[in-house]
Amino acid sequence: MEVVICQDEEQVGAVAADRVIAQLHGRQTPVLGLATGSSPLNLYAELKRRAAAGDVDFAHALGFALDEYVGLDPKHPLSYRETILRTVVEPLGMNPDRVMVPNGFVADLAAAAEEYEEAMREAGGIDVQILGIGSNGHIGFNEPTSSFASRTRVKTLTQQTRDDNARFFAEDETVPTHCVTQGLGTIMDAHNLVMVASGPAKAEIVAAMIEGPVSAMCPASILQFHRRAFVIIDEAAAANLQYADYFRHVAANQPA
Ligand code: F6R
């Protein structure tokens, strides 16, 4: 795992954009794994700037979202399909027909999840999976105790995740109780992982992910087993790391 500590969340976005673009270099049809949530917004804003500057072109890219709520109409403004279209597809100039989001609004959720896995396989896998981390250590919506071998499936959200996400919903709306999410095994199949995290609320769980034991109680700790996992965090999110000075030293002393 490579850990980069940045001054602030703007720098997190810029460094993460460098990583994403470097990993997509030379790919005619780049395949992006897309996260929603607040964490990657600076990264997407930076990718938009780089695309406008001609550094990268997403017109032919394929996109696969990590997760979706169950029972929310895909046209609902808070569905992850709509959120991805608004915050990623449109700003980056991706083709909406080439961006897939798990389907949480069909009768046969299991069959739809299997089709989603198949579509990712047919695309040749994810070149770069963008990730955030939940305050309980989830990635995608793989809540604590999720199987490390899991594939795309229905999960029940924890109360903590529903509370965390309540900020997006109006007072009279209830946060969905279930989701469809790529599994931890699915995420681990991506060729590159780029995780971004910022702010003091993430400090404890970021330390557990990077320095704690690999445990299903912190699903993101599975990143310790990935060969190409880049974790880009700001100073506030790095506050609980025992090895913060080491990570700074590594970043400042790259071999020529
Ligand atoms: C979203 C997702 C989640 C979020 C996580 C952090 O597609 O997969 O794992 O990345 O809940 O959310 P934020 O970034 O809003 O703190």
Tens-place pLDDT, residues 173-182: 889 999 999 9
Query: Within a 13 Å sphere around the CA of 165, how many CA atoms are in the beta-carbon half?
Result: 24
Active site residue 136: yes
pTM of the model: 0.97
Is 211 catalytic? The answer is: no
Average pLDDT over residues 28-54: 97
SS3 156: strand
**Between 171 and 244, whose confidence is greater?**
244
At residue 131, the pLDDT reads: 98
Nearest partner of 44 among 68, 78, 9, judged by Cα: 9
Instruction: Single out the catalytic residue among 9, 46, 127, 143.
Output: 143
The catalytic position among 9, 42, 117, 136 is: 136
Q: pLDDT tens digit string along 47-60? A: 999 999 999 999 99
Label each residue of 218-253 as H, E or C: EHHHHHHHCCCEEEEEECCCCCCCCCHHHHHHHHHC
pLDDT over 90 at 77, yes or no: yes
Active site annotation includes 67 = yes
In the predicted structure, residue 20 carries a pLDDT above the cut 90: yes
Position 42 confidence tier, pLDDT thresholds 50, 70, 90: very high
Q: So what's the pLDDT on residue 172?
A: 79
Closest CA to 105 of 68, 132, 56: 68
The count of C-alpha atoms lying within 13 angstroms of the C-alpha of 151, restricted to the half-sphere facing its C-beta, is 11
Closest CA to 132 of 38, 239, 14, 15: 38
